[in-house]
Each structure stands twice: as structure tokens, then as C-alpha cells.
A and B are shown apart, each in its own frame.
Chain A
Amino acid sequence: MNVINQIELAAVFLILVGTIASFLSAIGFIRLPDLYTRAHALSKGSTMGVLFILVGTFFFFFIDGYFSIRLFLGILFVFLTAPVSAHVIVRAAYRSNVPLAKESVRDDLKEVLQEEVYNHK
């Protein structure tokens, strides 16, 4: 087995890991009870899945001597923006009073927000 085949094997392995991570995040989306835990599963799991798939694709084309700057930029961009989009969605959901799961025990943000409203009236 020569070196090129080993890099190709690593690329395939990365893509497999990414697919599994995406699948697990989809399962988390179905199984978890409320919006916040679902956003937790989806944002982290699918970001990691997409990142691994993109890195694997990057390596796969890198063997042929093709340095894809678009893939590199895409990796950077997904890594930068996907957590922020999850943050914005969860924040909008909390501000429009989406209830937490029944199992949750404490809600620190509620007191802070009430204090903010109290201070501005």
C-alpha cells in the first residue's frame, strides 16, 4: 500500500465520521424533548459532520494536487457561522417564550431578563 492510498483512506474515513456525526445529530433532533436541547444536538452535531465531510473532500482532491480554496473557505465559513445561527435561533425562541422541557431545574436567564425589563420601566 503506497502513501497516496493511505491519504485516500484517511479522506474516506473522515467522510464516514462526518456522515455518522450528521446521522447522530438527526437522531438527537427527533429524540430530544424541547427546542433548546434540539438546537444543542443539531448545531454541534451537524456542524461537526459538515466539517468532517468537507475536510475529507478537501484531502481527497488534495491528492490530485488540486488545492480547492473554495472548500477551505467553506470550512472556515461553516465553522464561523453555524454556531452563531444556532445562537440566534435559540435566543429568538427564548425571547418569544418558548417553554423549557419539564425536566429542567433552573433558569438563570429569566431573572436577568426580568431585571432588565424592571430597570427600563
Chain B
Amino acid sequence: MKKPNDVIIRSVSKVAVVIILTFAINLFISGHHNPGGGFIGGLAFSSALILLFLSFDIETVRKNIPLDFKILAAVGVLISVSTGGGSMLFDVPFLTQAYGYFNLPIFGKTELATAVIFDIGVALAVIGTSITIILTIGDDR
């Protein structure tokens, strides 16, 4: 077995993954007023993980991210459904969203909406599904 000789791609992907993850979170946050949102944010996030899987091997990344992505997808669907169902507790129809302005310590006046929680669910479902697809195709077991 030859020793892998890929210093360049490994060290560059370490830097690139940080940038992609930052951009994924930026896409996710800006989804309410600008292009972006849960789906594209989740896809960008999972593309960063796939870059890690490509430049390092699957076992190393799995050991460092001990997360079952099938469970992650299930948790995402659960979050989305429960935000939809949570609106029924307040006597409004299913999937009604609410928003309000709050004074947070660092951010100042921020708009917080329950649609963000729905979007978190969508993003987790997308990350879980895409990584599960890639891992089940790529794994030998």
C-alpha cells in the first residue's frame, strides 16, 4: 500500500471547508430577505462535508464527526413538523408562522420568526439525506 501523497489538496481543503461552512451559514441566515434559505444552505453545508470525505477518507471523517446522518434527517423532519403543529396550540391553522422584534444583547433589534425553525428542520433534513446518499454509495460495507 503506497503512502498517499496529497499534501496540497488536504491543506487547501482544510481552508476551503471553513469558507464553505461560513458561506452555508450565511446563505441559511439570509434566506428570509435575500436569496438563500434552508434548502440551499443545507446543500452548501453538505458539500463542505463531501469535500472533507473526498480529501480525507471516510473512516477518518466519520471518527471525527460521530453523527448518524439518518437520525439527523429524521430530527430535521421532526423539527419541521413540530413547528407546523406548534401553531395549532395557539388556535391558528397548521403551519401558521409568527414573527416579532426582540432586543438581543449583541445583535440589537432583530427580527425573529418561527419560519427560521422550520428552515432549520429543512436544512437538517437536506444535510442528512444528501450525506446518507453519498455515504451509502461510497461505502464498501
User: Which of A's residues lie within 8 Å of B, judged by CB?
Assistant: 69-70, 73, 76-77, 80-81, 84, 87-88, 116, 120
Asked if A77 and B19 sit within 8 Å, CB to CB, the answer is yes
User: Taking A73-B23, A77-B19 as contacts, is the C-beta distance between A84 and B2 under 8 angstroms?
Assistant: no
Bound CA span A83–B57, Å: 22
Minimal beta-carbon separation of A87 from chain B (angstroms)? 6
Which residue of B12, B22, B23 is within 8 Å of A84 (Cβ)? B12
Bound CA span A109–B19, Å: 33
Residues of B within 8 A of A84 (CB): 8-9, 12
Q: A69-B26, A77-B19 are in contact. List 15 more A-B contacts (CB 8 A).
A: A73-B19, A73-B23, A76-B19, A77-B16, A80-B12, A80-B15, A80-B16, A80-B19, A81-B12, A84-B9, A84-B12, A87-B8, A87-B9, A116-B2, A120-B2
Minimal beta-carbon separation of B77 from chain A (angstroms)? 30
Bound CA span A52–B23, Å: 22
A-B contact count, CB below 8 Å?
23
Bound CA span A60–B9, Å: 34
Minimal beta-carbon separation of B10 from chain A (angstroms)? 10
Q: Nearest A residue to B11 by beta-carbon distance?
A: A84
Residues of A within 8 A of B22 (CB): 73
CB-CB nearest 3 A-B residue pairs: A84-B12, A77-B19, A88-B9
Bound CA span A89–B4, Å: 16
7 A-B contacts (beta carbon < 8 Å):
A70-B23, A77-B16, A77-B19, A80-B15, A84-B8, A84-B12, A87-B8
Q: Nearest A residue to B15 by beta-carbon distance?
A: A80
Residues of B within 8 A of A69 (CB): 26
Minimal beta-carbon separation of B5 from chain A (angstroms)? 8
Minimal beta-carbon separation of A3 from chain B (angstroms)? 30
Residues of A within 8 A of B16 (CB): 77, 80-81
Minimal beta-carbon separation of B103 from chain A (angstroms)? 25
